[in-house]
Amino acid sequence: MARERSLLELYAQDPERADALAFGRRGALKGTALAAMGAALGATIPFAARMPQGLLPAALAQPAGGPATLRMDGKAGLILLGERPLVAETPESMLDDDVTPADRFFIRNNGGIPERFSADPKTWRIRIDGEVNTPLDLTLGELESRFELVTLRLQMECGGNGRNAFVPETRGNQWGNGAISNGEWTGVRLRDVIRAAGPKDTARFTGHFGADPHLSGDTSRQAISRGMPIAKAMEDTTLIALRLNGEPIPLVHGFPVRLITPGWPGSLSQKWLNRITLRATPHDGPGMGGTSYRVPVKPIVPGSSTNGADFVDITSMPVRALLTNMAHGTRLPAGTRRLDLRGHGWAGDLTVRAVHVSTDFGASWAEMRVAEPPNRHSWQRWQGSVELPSDGYFEIWTRATDSQGRMQPHAAPNWNPQGYAANAMARTAILVG
Amino acid sequence: MSLSSLEKGAVGLACALGLLVLAMDVPASRRATGPAPLTPTPAALATAEADSRAAARRAEAERLDAERAASARAEAERLAAIQNPRESEDILPAGHGREEVFARCTTCHNTAIIRRSGFTRARWDELMDWMTEKQGMAPLEGDMRGLVVDYLAQHFPPRRNPRNTNPFLN
């Protein structure tokens, strides 16, 4: 451990020297440099010859001191990314269930958490207004009795999931790959409610409002208020959700009611929902416009300055897969040669066609089996096995391919200042022996 | 509010009796001097009982409301403790400007997001405008802005993959 920390410290203090030490001036990881790296890891690296230049082993890519752990009633020990606003990531190895338990949902807030609505939840009100013929002001009781209830397994993923793969680092919470969930949500279709309000021809976009207070305490400001094109709002998997996994939605996840807009950035799944307005033009609340939840059409130089004027809003999230039955940093007994692996894959509005796994830094790939999703916008289970040639340090690289043939890249693509849609393939470091 | 259910029952019964007297058009003056009190009819008794049950239900609902409100407040306090960790400025690296950075930034958010960030001076500088424009931060100008941005740039520079120095960036 002492050796590992010293290499990390060296990187923090003198990156050039640390890089020279680890990789050598000619780029290949070998000789004394490889020995130094192996010593830092406490293991040999059997596939070192195939390790790309400048690539720090995944085992060393953790911040010194280790991440803090969330301690909160009703929540598992998630990785605490920030307290105010409260933000916590689910470790990938806690995402093994087909249906994500409520205590393992990642937490993302832009503002504070409102006090629980303590009256009968059925009396909470939601307004539907704007470009409609009949504005609605409905209690949850009326919502539930008037519209069909559906239960679906739906992905919800932060638009910034995978952000910590961007180089150079971008603004925002430095998510690994764990800002993803796949809960079983019960609610009414937003489509049915919009139809009941009689949308005008000019109703082309939505705007969403919730009860969470702005961090500054200014009650005239919204913490976040985003919106989407009407076509996404009218999809039969976009829900006004009342229950998660058969239970009332936990307070921190939006009790008593929230939107679920699966496959698109999680910020469109407004928590503590109290109003949806229909608009002729894109919504202009906090979290819209500029560089917020927007990415370049014409790629920009990583780290450069931009006001995002010619960016576009993120719609469907990109393809991604996770390994969920083997934690990053797992030590396995000497002589272990076969690994049975499994996880989930998803691709926003699309599906996952294939998942491949490599244990030799991408030189060779083994195809896994991928199950069909139980319903549209649910993630999909993958599983399979790989063989290792020896003891030592390995990284399990996991790469999904979507239904249109697009694969996860090695590096986070299309750098943008707020770090969205980074779907670099996941890397899990293990040590055999 | 503080009546026992027995007392409420009695009140309900008295009201029902009063109604009965009125319905029978008996002058009030005759009640005091009249013979024995009238026996309530079964219908009046049923009404009184229903009233009493409704009052009990209301009292129970009020008690539950108060209980839920108290539990919501307690929950909000627990969450406030999580969302407002006790931080002092020495959580940030020592240096010129630390006090000002701590004071200004923690008006809205705690230091976690600062400590996990790493930008060039130009990007830190831009972030000040972004926070003003998008997040409602009071504009930061002049010497104070220089002090804050210099501190952040010095102590929280880009750290990721230092080999990757981009030839297109100054």
Q: Give A156-185 pLDDT, tens digit per residue.
A: 999 999 999 999 999 999 999 999 999 999
Chains A & B: contacts with CB separation below 8 Å: 128
* Residue B143 forms part of a structural domain: yes
Residue A20: the pLDDT is 56
How would CATH label the architecture of A102-313?
Alpha-Beta Complex (3.90)
Whether A282 has its CB under 8 Å from any CB of chain B: the answer is: no
Residue A318 is given by DSSP the state P
Residue B20: the pLDDT is 46
Residue A234: the pLDDT is 98
Residue A134: the pLDDT is 98
Give the rounded distance of the alpha carbon of B103 from its chain centre. 25
Which residue of chain A has the CA closest to B74? Answer: A115
Which residue of chain B has the CA closest to A303? Answer: B169
- Of B83, B98, B115, the position where a domain reaches its end is B83
Question: Hunting for tokens 């899990």 — which residue is that?
Answer: A428
List all residues of chain A from 335 to 394 with a beta carbon under 8 Å from chain B.
none
User: Who wins on pLDDT, A68 or A227?
Assistant: A227
- Of B83, B107, B141, the position where a domain reaches its end is B83
pLDDT tens, residue order, chain B (170 aa): 444 554 555 555 554 544 444 444 444 444 555 566 778 888 999 999 999 999 999 999 999 999 999 999 999 999 999 999 999 999 999 999 999 999 999 999 999 999 999 999 999 999 999 999 988 899 999 999 999 999 999 999 998 764 445 556 64
CA distance B147 to chain A (A): 20
Whether residues B76 and B108 share a domain: the answer is: no
Element of type H or E holding A56? none
Whether B66 has its CB under 8 Å from any CB of chain A: the answer is: no
Which residue of chain B has the CA closest to A292? Answer: B134
B75, B119, B136 member nearest A116 (Cβ): B75
Using a CB-CB cut-off of 8 Å, the residues of chain A touching B118 are: 168-169
A286–B166 CB contact, under 8 Å? no
Residue A81: the pLDDT is 95
Q: Give A31-70 pLDDT, tens digit per residue.
A: 555 666 666 665 677 777 666 555 566 665 544 445 789 9
The residue extents of the domains of chain A are 2-60, 102-313, 320-432
**ipTM surpasses 0.90:** no
- A376 exposed, middle or buried (CB, 10 Å; 0-12, 13-18, 19+)? middle
Whether A125 has its CB under 8 Å from any CB of chain B: the answer is: no
Cα A268 to Cα A18: distance, rounded to the nearest angstrom: 42
Residue A67: the pLDDT is 74
Cα B89 to Cα A323: distance, rounded to the nearest angstrom: 39
CB A252 within 8 A of CB A113: yes
Cα A171 to Cα B156: distance, rounded to the nearest angstrom: 12
Question: Domain range holding B119?
Answer: 89-155
Most confident of the following: A13-22, A37-46, A104-113? A104-113
Using a CB-CB cut-off of 8 Å, the residues of chain A touching B128 are: none
Which residue of chain B has the CA closest to A27? Answer: B163
Residue A329: the pLDDT is 87
Fold that domain A320-432 belongs to in CATH? Immunoglobulin-like (2.60.40)
Using a CB-CB cut-off of 8 Å, the residues of chain A touching B71 are: 116, 118
Residue B159: the pLDDT is 85
Domain count, chain B: 2
CA distance B49 to chain A (A): 27
* Residue B49 forms part of a structural domain: yes
Q: Give A401-423 pLDDT, tens digit per residue.
A: 999 999 999 999 999 999 999 99
Whether residues B38 and B76 share a domain: the answer is: yes
Whether A86 has its CB under 8 Å from any CB of chain B: the answer is: yes
- Of B22, B56, B83, the position where a domain reaches its end is B83
A169–B166 CB contact, under 8 Å? no
